[in-house]
Chains A and B, each alone.
Chain A
């Protein structure tokens, strides 16, 4: 990645933060290739039953990009937030591709060892990620902010406080929103309750 591209990232991040339209896509264009490479490497290693640690991917991607020392540390939270969106896209792309290769479209599972996951519960922490993606899209149609919260929560590795800051919402709002989103997604995922 050239250094001029990285200067762009810092610049784009601050513009994104100010809510400039269209910036998010441009940012994603920078982050997508890095994340994609990292994710496919992880997925390749675990062909069939895919184990992905989204938050690890995001932080790897951040380091990869920040290595060129142009991304300001202060923007880490925002970078992670953007990366969460991109990562979701990357994963879903990968899974779709993988499924299309599989006869009969057997479900490929992403074992979400999300940062907040309790490793003790990994055994049942499998998520039909494509279904979740679909449900998230539906939720976003109804309440974009809640869907965004779930995305950040599952992919960014950001703390609760950081998510509140990125979302520009109070902690109590986030707490309520989260409770609702969780119940809503669970009921829309049918028999596969969202364990994360």
Chain B
């Protein structure tokens, strides 16, 4: 054969190859035989190639080529025109096309009855006798599927050219996602709808049929709002003898919802439906599918599905317009949506999307149970066995009542966070550590938003140990150190440990600079740093930090206004401070009430107005803050109650004292409902309510509330805690107003004083107040010797000699009381009394020129 014939010969070989493969297996032998007569060499080569091709076809997994061919077949078109007949059905119009084939609306006239159906015509290149056979086999099974949520299977048949088709009930409706968005369904409504889908899938699973191609476009919502599942056409029974038929079937699955094992050609179980349900749920909740597959090649898509765990929903959400996503879910902002998705919903979704089928929910029912649990705010299964998770639930339910658990929890989280952050390769674990930290922050803030708990010893201990563990990483992992230390500093600030917090922020900022973190992050830390120094009453350092912050190119945001405002208030430039807070509130308007900056700006504005003598404006500002919180958090939210307590405190001691009492009662009752009788938050409400009654002179009533507060605080914080001591003092003062309860008051205050002397120091300001008050009660109770010994004690004297003691006047006034001198003026006082009398005299003499 001539050289030039080479190319022709090769082209002929290619053509013969196609021709032979198009023949049924049985006809191929005689085709080759005929060729062999004409050109034995060519026939031999063709035979070899066909053998090779058949071997490749039957090799199942097909290695690298599988997906490529899938893609090729997916783009090859097929069409049937309206009017054409598919078996006894006449095509009316095309409804859509997918990876599996095209769908037509068709009808069949059966006597007078006109039956309208949907027909799915499979791609002819998928034409395969076994496929049709399988459909026939499954027909009986599919017919068993009788569930309101599943579109009814009617028949299978084959088109004139041999293409198989499936006849199904025609369902009119909108695809699930589009419907939810259009209806602006909130998360709860979406989840309820999703449970309908789960019920349908569960029904199929009970009949040993898995769907294998679940996707949101396969789920329609009808006019009545019920979901209908389409396309159980490629359903596969779970019977074991059918298991091997995966390779060919999977050619038409939808990659966006396909489970890893489907791409790997492995045995499929209900787990692949769970995975697909997870992808649907993911998008239903956050508006974005788990993986961004747009524009990726088939291989890259497979890699996405097989390798990386899906990003958290809140992170993927950033790809879209957050505000729009939130608004389609009836929520005010992206932040609120993110907050609701974080935690349990994320865990449920991730549990569906595990790469390893055995790590997913074992059944649709279990998934459904978790969603139900979420809807009822119970712990979910996906988190079972996670200690920190259970603790978090506990904390959430018991709020501030569980500070001790919280301490353990914090310790655990930080240990986990530090350990796993060392292993940067474990991306999933690191994400989890980040999540753990986010939870830590959230738990702290929600546990004690009002700081009523104050410093609880074990929390402090745990934080300290975490801080020292962290300090070891300051040099080798400055970025990690900066972010964790920043979190700890925030926690300290919330607990009112302002100086510790400020010092931590100092270190966090330094580390952030060393680590070369982005300017925004450093600036954000610095603003907190300034705020912490102001809170710690160190204006000089606060101002110094602020001066640096002002040099940042980012120094114009609303957060900056908050800090500037605080600095102005510290400098008593109230009017300027007020301007800054107003600007900040305006700039932060889009944020939810869970945003700390926004909340701070509003509270500080109210305080600043009152400080500036604009009492009425202050009240308006505080009421606006409450309305804003209610709108965003709901009227029942504990934080709303805590802000209302501030309003109560503002009204107390004014002419509207009765109004304050009334409001305090409402808030107190609501807090009791939410937090229970034993929470420090309830104690705070009781204290505020008691104060209101005290201001109005209704001591008997205030004693009741003080007693409740003292009981709770003693129990949770210990009797020696400053808050417990103040509650005890208030209780004693209220009781002392009535001669009948005065002995109890004296007993109470004696005890409080003894504890305070130990906890706060013998000559501290608070102790001198308690001592003066006890002295006054003793005088009133006609026990002047005891009063004298107390009020003339050297510790009390030391306290009164201090210039900065705000209770000095009160103490001196008592010393001058004539009844106190009575024991000194009797005939022969004891040595002890004489010393006391001399001491009191000396004190009054020393201070005579200063006071009075």
* Chain A residues near B (Cβ < 8 Å): 55, 112, 114-121, 124-125, 142-143, 146, 153, 157-162, 171-172, 174-180, 182-184, 186-187, 193, 195-196
Contact = CB atoms under 8 A, between A and B. Distances in A.
Contact of A115 (B48, B50, B299): B299
B67 A116 contact: yes
A95 to B, nearest CB: 19
A116 B65 contact: yes
Contact of A175 (B6, B64, B72): B72
Nearest to A179: B53
Contacts of A157: 297, 299-300
A160 B75 contact: yes
A153 B68 CA distance: 9
B71, B75, B297 — most chain A CB neighbours (10 Å)? B297
Interface stretch (B14-22, B655-663, B737-745): B14-22
Given A115-B297, A115-B300, A115-B303, A182 B264 contact: no
Contacts of B64: 112, 114, 116-118, 121, 125, 195-196
8 contacts: A117-B64, A119-B307, A120-B266, A121-B61, A121-B63, A175-B73, A182-B65, A187-B52
A172 B266 CA distance: 29
A55 B69 CA distance: 18
Interface string B245-267: 00000000000000000011110
A174 B69 CA distance: 10
B264 A171 contact: no
A178 B53 contact: no
Contacts of B67: 116, 118
Nearest 3 A-B pairs (CB), nearest first? A196-B64, A115-B299, A116-B299
Contact of A119 (B71, B297, B302): B302
Nearest to A154: B64
Interface string B1-39: 000001100110010011001000000000000000000
Contacts of A125: 63-64
B32 to A, nearest CB: 15
B542 interface: no
Contacts of A182: 53, 56, 65
A176 B263 CA distance: 23
B71 A183 contact: no
A153 B64 CA distance: 10
B73 A120 contact: no
A160 B61 contact: no
Contacts of B299: 55, 114-117, 157
A159 B297 contact: yes
A118 B61 contact: yes
Contact of A187 (B10, B48, B297): B48
Given A114-B299, A117-B63, A142-B6, A176 B71 contact: no
Contacts of B18: 176, 179-180
Interface string B40-77: 00000000111111011000010111111101110110
A176 B67 CA distance: 15
A124 B62 CA distance: 11
A171 B56 contact: no
B830 to A, nearest CB: 93
Contact of A118 (B6, B7, B76, B263): B263
B383 interface: no
Contact of B264 (A120, A174, A177): A120
B18, B50, B56, B306 — most chain A CB neighbours (10 Å)? B56
Given A182-B56, A187-B48, A116 B14 contact: no
Contacts of B11: 143
B790 interface: no
B390 interface: no
Interface string B467-495: 00000000000000000000000000000
Contact of A159 (B50, B71, B73, B264): B71
B56 A142 contact: no
A180 B14 contact: yes
A171 B11 CA distance: 19
A186 to B, nearest CB: 5
Contacts of B21: 179
B467 to A, nearest CB: 40
B524 interface: no
B298 interface: yes
A117 B7 CA distance: 31
Interface in B64-101: 64-69, 71-73, 75-76
A193 B55 contact: yes
A143 B53 contact: no
Contact of B65 (A158, A161, A171, A196): A196
Contacts of B75: 160-161, 171
